[in-house]
Amino acid sequence: MRTDDQPAWAGFWRRLGAFLVDWVLVGVAGYLIGAAAFDALATMEVGDRLVGLALAVAYFGVLGSRIGGGQTLGKRAFNLRVAALDGGGLPLPRALLRALVLSLPFVVNGVGLHANGGLLVYVAGVLAATALFGLGLAQLYLLAFNRPSRRLAHDLAAGSVVLRADGAVTDVPAGTAHGRIAIGIVATSFLLTAGSTVYFSSVSPGLLTRLRPPLSAVENLPEVMAATVAETKTAFSATGQPWATSRALVINVRLRAWPRDPYFEARRLAGAALAHYQPAAGQSVFVTLRYGFDLGFASNWRSYSTDIDHRP
């Protein structure tokens, strides 16, 4: 039984420790699934992230509900449990919602989207960035300042609280002020992300216009799942020598299947891009091929990178 010197609220370090244990376990499960179904996941495009999200939501949702006694393996190790505000177990639908809000920032981290998708891809990109940065910062704020309950965004969304396993709910702070601040953090992140994307597009029309044709040429090839094309400039200087600038066209491609001859494939992709792009004198072309999957918390890639001699 809980004594008076053992408050019911889960402390900062207990919650953090339990989460790290759980996330390591989810990552191990992701790697095992990836090893068993590598090619299937590698051809899913962003579908591999959906598999990762489903795995994380199932783990945190089912075990965090009354079905699992409110205890993931990490919470069990740190003597914690998820409860409804009345102290009882959390119903499965609410536990799944809680798991979705918890997992989303980690799963969308680094997600790649087609550049030619238009408005839909723009909106998806802004929402993914908002989930990563806005929701992530809101979680850190609530964890640090929403005391003593430390109810996080997923707790506020699902009407849940994290307690010591032997603790009982006595008085749940409303936390409305902290909740409003967290919402403000997410909203500010959304506006900054959307605004910065529009601003970049408006101040760099020449760059976007110049790179869009070679990018489209590469993305339209049947073996290409996704691609990015960028220009880089690097300043360098040898000892006692004046500074010089090196320019490069960088092509990154995610393939639908691994080629028999990666160098030949890299040259072919570079040729498709250069048919719509005129390199400057001395500008190099660098191609990276990738084939694999990324669940958001577990990934496995084959990769190959090479310089391409584009001189006639």
For 138-191, what is each residue's pLDDT tens digit? 998 998 888 888 889 999 999 999 998 887 776 666 667 888 899 999 999 888
Nearest CA to 253 out of 218, 296, 280 is that of 218
Nearest-Å Rg of the Cα atoms of the chain is 24
The answer to whether 33 touches 50, Cβ cutoff 8 Å, is: no
Average pLDDT over residues 248-266: 94
pLDDT of 4 strictly over 80: no
101-148 pLDDT, tens per residue? 999 888 887 665 554 455 566 677 777 788 888 898 999 899 888 888
Handedness of CA 292, 100, 11, 5 (dihedral sign): negative
93: its two tokens: 């639908």
Q: What is the pLDDT of residue 305?
A: 95
The domains of the chain are located at 12-202, 205-308
Q: What is the pLDDT of residue 149?
A: 82
The answer to whether 273 touches 250, Cβ cutoff 8 Å, is: no
Nearest CA to 286 out of 228, 220, 243 is that of 228
pTM: 0.82
Q: What is the pLDDT of residue 201?
A: 53
Q: Lowest mean pLDDT of 76-80, 172-176, 258-262, name the range.
A: 172-176
Q: What is the pLDDT of residue 2?
A: 45
- The CATH architecture assigned to 205-308 reads 2-Layer Sandwich (3.30)
Q: What is the pLDDT of residue 286?
A: 94
Residue with tokens 């004594």: 3
23-43 pLDDT, tens per residue? 999 999 999 999 999 999 999
Residue with tokens 């299937």: 40
pLDDT of 219 strictly over 50: yes
Q: What is the pLDDT of residue 306?
A: 94
Nearest CA to 59 out of 103, 16, 18, 10 is that of 103
Between 99 and 171, whose confidence is greater? 99
Q: What is the pLDDT of residue 100?
A: 95
Q: How many Å apart are CA 27 and CA 107, to the nearest integer?
A: 11
